[in-house]
Amino acid sequence: MSKSTQNPEAKFRRPVLASLAVALALSFALPAQARETVRIGYQKSSTLITLLKTQGTLEKTLAQNNIDVSWHEFSSGLPLLEALNVGNVDISADVADTVPIFAQAAQAKLTYFAQEAPSPSAQAIVVRKDSPLQQLADLKGKKVAVTKAAGSHYLLIAALKKAGLEFSDIEPAYLSPADGRAAFENNKVDAWVTWEPFLTSAQRQLPTRTLADGAGLASYKRYYLTSTPYAKAHPEVLKLVYEQLHKTGEWVKTNPGEAAKILSPLWGNLDVATVETANTHRSYQVQPVKGDQLGEQQKIADAFFAAGLLPKAVDAKDVDIWKP
């Protein structure tokens, strides 16, 4: 066949096929961008992280950056930070200000990456309404329910000091919030130290009286932490998480009713009005952590050491801090 009688489309088809072959070869030669997974530990009381998890907001944001999320729930702050220290999770949702002190005493290598502004009214020492206890000094010799290493634990120590008492002047009953509530309700303890939303729930459902809240005693900050190796290797992930926490904190304050409806079933079907009231006592104002603002952390460390609750003295400023 002469050149003049060849299919005229052939001369166009060959370059196209060649281009497709090159593209196909490159697709096998170049690996797809690897996806990462960030492991986030949280508690039921981790309000902002819980909202982000439920609404899927954080996962959508991270997915856009090729990052997946796996969620890991813990019963309390100490096991959560222990998991963080041994590398079982990468990021910890908020824990009470006391918890990092215990982690430091255990020589954990953790990094602060965010904090919530003080919420002193979010915890309190309560007695039954008909209790003969009228002031903090009356706690001497009494049995007090408190959760060990929680922020309320420090509130109790600070309140006793204000009343001229030592921690050894009371009989502590170390109980979880649920067990503390049961002991309080059944007259097994003389007083109970707790935090939100357990506090508002008890105040609304039981005849109680408040001996003291955190005002002037314990500012009650909540801290977000990560492992130090993770902070150094993944600052871009911390930046995204920080931004979402900050936005969610503002959202809770501007949409209290909607936030309460979402949290109600997550908090054991606590009624919406109780959840909304409890949230008024939390600042939810997410801020950077600054080394020169860890003064109260040092007070907490010194108080626990003096009470014989820490194995050694702790320098609260001897920590790593990630800056957004």
Confidence of residue 75 (pLDDT cuts 50, 70, 90): confident
* Predicted local distance difference test score (pLDDT) of residue 270: 96
Architecture of domain 36-118+221-321: 3-Layer(aba) Sandwich (3.40)
Confidence of residue 107 (pLDDT cuts 50, 70, 90): very high
Yes or no: domain 120-213 corresponds to CATH 3.30.565.10? no
pLDDT of 12 over the 80 cut: no
* Distance separating alpha carbons of residues 171 and 134, to the nearest angstrom: 18
**Cα torsion at 75, 145, 125, 96 (round to 10°)?**
-30
Arithmetic mean of pLDDT over the chain: 91
pLDDT of 321 over the 70 cut: yes
- Per residue in 297-316, pLDDT (tens digit) is 999 999 999 989 999 999 99
- Per residue in 218-242, pLDDT (tens digit) is 999 999 999 999 999 999 999 999 9
- Per residue in 201-210, pLDDT (tens digit) is 999 999 999 9
Average pLDDT over residues 56-75: 96
* Distance separating alpha carbons of residues 51 and 43, to the nearest angstrom: 12
Domains of the chain: which residue ranges?
36-118+221-321, 120-213
* Predicted local distance difference test score (pLDDT) of residue 15: 52
**Alpha helices per DSSP H over the chain:** 10-29, 47-55, 57-63, 77-85, 99-105, 151-162, 177-185, 198-205, 228-233, 235-254, 256-266, 272-280, 295-306
Are 36-118+221-321 and 120-213 the same fold in CATH? yes
* Predicted local distance difference test score (pLDDT) of residue 4: 45
Amino acid at 40: I
Beta bridge partners of 128: 208
* Distance separating alpha carbons of residues 157 and 97, to the nearest angstrom: 14
* Distance separating alpha carbons of residues 17 and 153, to the nearest angstrom: 73
* Predicted local distance difference test score (pLDDT) of residue 26: 45
Average pLDDT over residues 15-33: 49
